[in-house]
């Protein structure tokens, strides 16, 4: 992805370098005035041409309006912004904080330009992501925003070797379109992170309730909270449940590359090393899908297990399969850093610890469900949508499946009145929705899904394409869409 970075230059050189570092770490292409080189065309023409050729536009602004070409009324900086709007580019904008000290020589003195700058920034505010202070602060703030947009556009936004304060998304979460609501839950997360002394928040819920989506959305917002944090690490045990791999990556990141985990003899010693790092500085670790390292789910068929588990009187099923994981949890519960855990089961090692806060995630608010259905393209009155979602207790995954089926099947025309009539007391009501969605698919897609379901272990896209020769190419799915289903 080509990312054009627009700003005035002399006052924001170091900030531009910070943005370039973020772009390079994400393995994307930085485009800007630094690399125009010797050209026969005027600087403005070169800049506008570069904007046209980019996929994303990033604007960083401070207290200068910029150069106005002879005979014109707008600066090149503002014209770059206008050109991005005209060509419908994805736009992210950042402004220096009003309380950030700034050299007087880099503050606009010309009254006419000051007025133009003020009017321009009012327009920029519609696309403003965050305010920044230092170059390092801008680096930390822009990295998750770029990651989010790259993932939304179907790319991969994983930094191979990040160092704080750049967030380290060891795995990306494929957030589906129209994430809606969860305002109370996001406020709870913010309150925990900013004011609660407890180091761990364990968010517990059954599958499909949206734990991962909520954690992902909130994590992207972390740098707007105004709280000092050394770095952020996102780790998904759905993608990699090897605790040794987690320890190695986490030690490299938290030490800023100063520690080589291979030089540490055992996982137990690595736990101590990582704990020591997390007690020295304030990090946020988000550990998604934590049930995968608990005994109930630490098995090869974990991806196919539901919420029913083989319970026992001692509740060993909630214990960590690897004792080192339990030691790590207990250690960070009393540390300076914070850890957000999303899980189907509350880890037994965290029971009765003072440094742990537990929260249960329930279904969506009824009002949010209505907004979600409308965003998905489903038509219907508020009361009709609430009546359709209530039997499922507004379970997010079920609602997404229902809304998607109604919106995509031409027989239903996106009308909520075609939702299946479900008895709220029916123990298999979620299965009814699966049948409803399956029956709405074309016969060839039904056949493909039925055959694919016979495989009880994860398959790569290449493996699927090789096995189902001639079928994959004719389907409406692509690799990214299949991964989201």
Looking at residue 58, its pLDDT comes to 96
Q: 3 - beta bridge partners?
A: 30, 56
Mean pLDDT across the chain: 88
Residue-by-residue DSSP string for 53-65: H-SEEEEEE-S--
Cβ contacts of 301 within 8 Å, gap of 6 or more: 456
Tell me the per-residue pLDDT of 380-418, one tens digit each, with 9 for 90 and over: 999 999 999 999 999 999 999 999 999 988 889 999 999
Tell me the per-residue pLDDT of 435-480, one tens digit each, with 9 for 90 and over: 888 888 888 888 888 887 777 666 776 777 777 766 655 555 544 4
Looking at residue 156, its pLDDT comes to 60
pTM summary value: 0.73
pLDDT for 252 beyond 90 = yes
Looking at residue 194, its pLDDT comes to 92
**C-alpha distances out from residue 225 to 189, 211, 350, Å:** 11, 21, 27
DSSP-derived letter for residue 109 is -
| Chain centroid to CA 267 | 29
Left if phi > 0, otherwise alpha if psi is -120 to 50, otherwise beta: which for 256?
A: left
pLDDT confidence of 342, banded at 50, 70, 90? very high
- Average pLDDT rounded to a whole number, residues 371-383: 96
> What percent of the chain stands above pLDDT 70?
90
Q: Phi first, then psi: what are they for 173, rounded to 5°?
A: -105, 125
Helices 76-86 and 43-53 meet at what angle, rounded to 10?
A: 30
Tell me the per-residue pLDDT of 291-315, one tens digit each, with 9 for 90 and over: 999 999 987 766 667 777 888 888 8
Tell me the per-residue pLDDT of 216-225, one tens digit each, with 9 for 90 and over: 999 877 766 6
Output the six-digit token pair for 236: 């998904």
Interatomic CA distance for residues 446 and 154, integer angstroms: 25
């Amino acid at each position: 992805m080509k990312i054009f970075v627009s700003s005035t230059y002399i006052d924001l050189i170091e900030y531009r370098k910070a943005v370039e570092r973020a772009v390079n770490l994400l393995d994307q292409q930085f485009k800007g005035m630094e690399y125009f080189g010797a050209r026969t065309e005027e600087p403005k023409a070169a800049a506008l041409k570069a904007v046209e050729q980019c996929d994303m536009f990033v604007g960083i602004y401070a207290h200068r309006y910029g150069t106005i070409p002879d005979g014109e009324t707008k600066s090149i900086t503002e014209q770059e912004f206008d050109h991005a709007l005209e060509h419908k580019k994805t736009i992210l904008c950042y402004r220096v904080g009003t309380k950030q000290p700034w050299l007087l020589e880099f503050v606009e003195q010309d009254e006419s330009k000051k007025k133009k700058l003020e009017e321009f920034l009012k327009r920029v505010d519609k696309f403003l992501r965050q305010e920044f202070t230092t170059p390092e602060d801008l680096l930390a703030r822009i990295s998750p925003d770029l990651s989010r947009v790259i993932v939304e556009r179907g790319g991969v936004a994983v930094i191979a070797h990040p160092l704080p304060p750049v967030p380290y998304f060891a795995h990306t979460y494929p957030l589906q379109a129209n994430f809606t609501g969860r305002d109370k839950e996001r406020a709870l997360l913010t309150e925990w992170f900013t004011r609660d002394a407890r180091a761990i928040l364990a968010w517990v819920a059954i599958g499909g309730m949206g734990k991962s989506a909520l954690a992902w959305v909130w994590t992207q917002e972390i740098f707007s909270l105004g709280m000092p944090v050394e770095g952020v690490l996102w780790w998904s045990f759905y993608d990699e449940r090897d605790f040794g791999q987690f320890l190695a990556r986490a030690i490299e990141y938290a030490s800023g590359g100063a520690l080589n985990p291979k030089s540490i003899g055992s996982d137990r010693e690595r736990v101590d090393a990582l704990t020591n790092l997390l007690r020295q500085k304030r990090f946020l670790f988000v550990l998604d899908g934590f049930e995968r390292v608990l005994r109930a789910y630490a098995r090869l068929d974990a991806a196919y297990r539901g919420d029913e588990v083989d319970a026992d009187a001692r509740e060993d099923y909630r214990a960590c399969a690897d004792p080192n994981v339990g030691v790590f949890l207990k250690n960070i519960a009393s540390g300076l850093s914070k850890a957000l855990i999303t899980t189907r089961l509350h880890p037994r090692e965290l029971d009765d610890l003072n440094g742990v806060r537990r929260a249960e995630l329930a279904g969506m608010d009824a009002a949010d469900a209505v907004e979600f259905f409308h965003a998905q393209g489903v038509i219907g009155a508020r009361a009709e949508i609430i009546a359709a979602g209530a039997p499922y207790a507004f379970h997010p995954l079920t609602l997404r499946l229902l809304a998607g089926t109604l919106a995509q099947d031409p027989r239903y025309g996106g009308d909520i009145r075609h939702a299946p009539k479900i008895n709220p007391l029916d123990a298999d009501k979620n299965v009814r929705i699966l049948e409803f969605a399956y029956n709405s698919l074309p016969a060839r897609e039904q056949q493909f899904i039925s055959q694919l379901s016979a495989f009880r272990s994860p398959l790569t896209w290449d493996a699927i394409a090789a096995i189902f020769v001639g079928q994959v190419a004719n389907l409406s799915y692509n690799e990214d869409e299949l991964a989201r289903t």
